[in-house]
Structure 1
Amino acid sequence: AQHFVKRHVENIFEQKKMPELRYVSHISRNASRHPRLMHSHKDHTEIILICDGNSEFLIHNKKYPVKKGDLLIYNPGIIHDDVTGKDSELELYCAAIGNLDMKKTGNNTPIPENGLIPEKAPFIYHTEEREYDFFYNIFRLMFDMLRREETGAESVSAYLIEAMIVRVMSMIDRIEGVAVEPMENPSVIGMQIKEYIDEHYMEPLTLQSIGKELHISPYYLSHIFKDMSGYSPIQYLLRRRLGEAQNLLISTDLSITDIAGMVGFDTQSYFNAQFTKNVGIPPKKYRQNYLTKNEEES
Structure 2
Amino acid sequence: MTIQSLPDILRYGSISEPLWIEFDRRIGYHSMDTTHYHRSFEFFYLYSGERKFFIRDSVYPIQSGDLILVNSNFVHRTSELSQPNHERVVLHFDLPFFDGLSREETELLQSPFLDGYPIVRLNLQERLHLETLFESLLRELNDRPPGYQLHIRNMATELLLLTARHMQKRKALPNVEVTPVQRKVTDIIRHINQQFREPLHLDDLAKQFYISKGHLSRVFKEVTGFGFSQYINITRIKEAEHLLRETDLSITEISEQCGFENFSHFGKVFKELSGLSPRAYRKLE
Q: Normalized against structure 2, the TM-score is what?
A: 0.48
Q: Name the structure with the higher helix share.
A: 2
Bigger relative contact order, structure 1 or 2, given CA contacts below 8 A and separation 6+? 1
